[in-house]
Chains A and B, each alone.
Chain A
């Protein structure tokens, strides 16, 4: 339902965020590691894009790269990032700082550790508002109360002077969301926003985030490893594997009709909420460490359907059935070989 709406919009609306061929590099003594390798995607205004992958797949690094917060000695090694058509990957520190919080809000994994323990919640919201908007202290405080009310903090006018340690994890994450939205950014990057929370409040927080962003038309880049969250929240989803984009497409299509062998494996290893007793399959092996990414397709050693080109060349993103896939199986030139190979393999 959502995906179709977005497909219609995609033609006319220019994307809020464009990432193309993004490379993040970490120079080490044994050579340069690439936690993010030529990743490209777009996010439309108001759209929720999920980024999914195992830990170490480069999801969070993508988010950090977009807001210019890669820890040293990491750096952006190539590609472009544009926000509303303006390039932001080459901005000075100070100009990037004015974008963070103002145009791109962030929500991190552990809310209890995201807030300064020695400042009241109100101080931190007021500080953020006044950093980005030319308003008086009183006005900022009024807005801070409103922001807390909006994220569902009861008795916000009183709680505004409370300390972070006086909030539960779920309440803290609400405060963090209020902080991320304080300056009305056009894009929120939420990095595993519910992973550190109790299972019982995870759904509430996701619902809140979704409701607020839909209400304001704020786009969201939702980084998670939880396929359930992806299914319930996102419009489109991008699957990362070993720093590379494996597949990207409308959520419903990726979930129900995945094309990349890795995505297929991922889907069959996740229990379906629709029930039914089904044997969960596992993908054999483990994701390679950044130090020894195999030649060719990074997934090839674990892929049951790998054939000659997979071990030689890195596949590029190409349209497949309903999604875009980086896999030689969907390359027209090789497709025939692959089909033949599979045919013999199955006999």
Chain B
């Protein structure tokens, strides 16, 4: 409906007092925009999130040092305090340097990159898997549905962080020992993704079963459209909003799961550290007083998790008040 309106509006002159409705003005009239612009917390959260994402994307450009290039490291820089220059090398460190003389600001930017990459990839993986299994389960039904939902039930019995750890262990066991460090990130994505698919599958299945009973789907069946076509072209668009909400909430969970696993030493390796790995490194200096090595990565993780969480909560309420 809105599509045809838009075409009509741009094709010929409309009423004089009516400014041509650009996508932006129409967006500004929507409920979602209203609820967004009225909530300062959400605006702040999304600005923080966008800044963090930009920082991660542009990390190679904005980081002042290359902390994981062994050639550029200078051990003399070790333990330089934040906002100060090292007394021997006179290198300046915004957020200080760690024991190896790595710039904390740069490691955070690169860690953020890994955290976001793992988090987003894991959610995309979980979403694809969950949506496909949910569609199949809800549309095909029968024993296939029973098996998929039984597996989902059993998995739901356990906390997803534990499943992720277990899957990481299995994945690590299946990787050849000499490739383990290189593959660690992918194993991490696989295990977190596989621990989060259930929510997607259940929701999509529910929506599919509702849609399937509707007349238009039965009509599609009658005129011989293929099942896959019906599922993806007709049923999927109806569940996009819900899937989006779950994806946002899952992203927060995935980021925390990744940080936790990496912190525990069963995630991103020290050569490719994520925020969790950095916090784990920083923890070792908690007793000796080099607080900045721990504090800044922790604050970054906190800002990331909190902003995604708040955004997810808001999106849930704005898009689908029923889903709670």
Per the CB under 8 Å rule, do A and B touch in the complex?
no
Which chain B residues have a beta carbon within 8 Å of chain A's beta carbons? none
